[in-house]
Chains A and B, each alone.
Chain A
């Protein structure tokens, strides 16, 4: 455990000196929390008539159960903010990529991997520390960012709207599914990082894991799907299975000898 703590602390000390990582961990979550809140302020300032103008019957039809018990104006706001809340699910996938993609390939490029592997650290300890170093900031950033959003909604919107976001569906998504997504993203990034020789290639390849979530955001924004509790639960189960497979794969694919001798 002490070795894992040591590597995690080392990763953070190194990685947070990188401005891009700092931006993605500190500012990106803040920006994502602020955009829906700014929209909420705009809705409030526009007044109920403007909100009603946005109240397209087609949207109302698609929103379906989402708007049960809400006024038409509140429903429009909830529907619009829902699109942004999905963005909070992109954070736990995007942040680990910027941290973990560099983790192994960075050690290769600085030639610190060989002395590191010469220590009595096991492959499991090494990979666990690289993954933990990537997921903890991502999970914290996601939670803090969603927390800021919730506080903002509580202050700026009606209790009915707040209740829509402080609900089991989104709490499940942010508190349970988001960490699972973070683990998935970190595993993919570590696997890619141990197979390539260039940090940029590692980051670009790892970024592919964000695509399914972007498709979800687009799907909801064009009215193809509506994220509900069932979809989030299903997503959680699928990601959990994928996490287990990827963790096993990460350890299997991390061949010390191949990494030292083949990938130069």
Chain B
């Protein structure tokens, strides 16, 4: 659905995006993570034909950036970093304007549909200047969807929103995903990316890594299983290390933490071995690192490599 091949963007001497190569599938929610100034917004602007690449190429739905810009603009929806509404005009008027610019066939019907879906119908005739941040953001999301684009670019959709409004936006993104839309999500909210994205890319001028959140965790930390024991775990450390499928083992009080390639296959063997050795196992669970841990580790590695 979205392909980039060595996509590059420079502003004078400043290299903003360096040889980005991606292949995003139809119906995928793709998280694009990176620190401030990493080039995320520049990438979105290139892919939505707002700015031209300096080198490389990109296609969106088969349309080529730089050649089929009008077609791309017709088929993508973009939620910009700031909502950017006409504040003196009503919510309905704002959406009507954009529906006409996007050549929507049934303007009134689409405007009503999205005002209702995003819970703004009751305030439809109020000037947007009187809206809260959350309401403006919802209105901006509605604007991005009026022409039913198959591809959506969302730049920090929940930035500066309270938890309730964020939840609403997350649920809405979930609905959009179930409709089969392809969503390119730039976010700083790693919990959001973890919950919503099929795959995530960590990006800082160049692509650091791209994979599913689960595989990224495994890639960085491996899979770790914690065996909570009644006594000190130290006692069983030697036994665990002797097992051929255990990658690493450590003890922390009553917790025995083992790194395994395939916990589903080997957990029963370990449990049997521990019980045979006299351990009282209280419960077993997989240690789950947050995407934030993974991200910070990757960015740290990147910074160290650059130094």
Contact = CB atoms under 8 A, between A and B. Distances in A.
Nearest to B93: A13
Interface string A94-119: 00000000000000001111111111
Q: How extensive is the interface on chain A, given as a class?
A: 20 to 34
Give the dominant DSSP class at A's interface.
helix
A113 B100 contact: no
Contacts of A10: 86, 89, 93, 97
A110 B84 contact: yes
B159 interface: no
A102 to B, nearest CB: 12
Contact of B51 (A14, A113, A121, A261): A261
Interface in B53-87: 70, 73-74, 76, 78, 80, 82-87
A116 B101 contact: yes
A113 B97 CA distance: 13
Interface of A: 2-3, 6-7, 10, 13-14, 17, 110-122, 256-257, 260-261
Given A6-B100, A7-B97, 20 more contacts: A10-B93, A110-B86, A110-B87, A111-B80, A111-B83, A111-B84, A112-B84, A115-B78, A115-B84, A117-B50, A118-B49, A118-B73, A118-B76, A118-B80, A119-B98, A119-B101, A120-B73, A257-B50, A261-B11, A261-B51
Interface residues of B, number: 30
Contacts of A121: 101
Contact of B103 (A7, A111, A120, A260): A120
B84 A257 contact: no
A115 B98 CA distance: 9
A92 to B, nearest CB: 26
Interface of B: 11, 45, 48-52, 70, 73-74, 76, 78, 80, 82-89, 93, 97-98, 100-103, 140, 143
B140 A14 contact: no
24 contacts: A2-B100, A6-B97, A13-B88, A13-B93, A14-B86, A14-B88, A110-B86, A112-B86, A114-B50, A114-B78, A115-B78, A115-B143, A118-B50, A118-B73, A118-B76, A119-B73, A119-B98, A119-B102, A120-B74, A120-B101, A120-B102, A256-B50, A257-B52, A260-B50
Closest 9 CB pairs of A and B: A111-B84, A119-B101, A112-B84, A6-B100, A120-B73, A257-B51, A111-B82, A118-B78, A114-B80
Nearest to A5: B100
A214 to B, nearest CB: 32
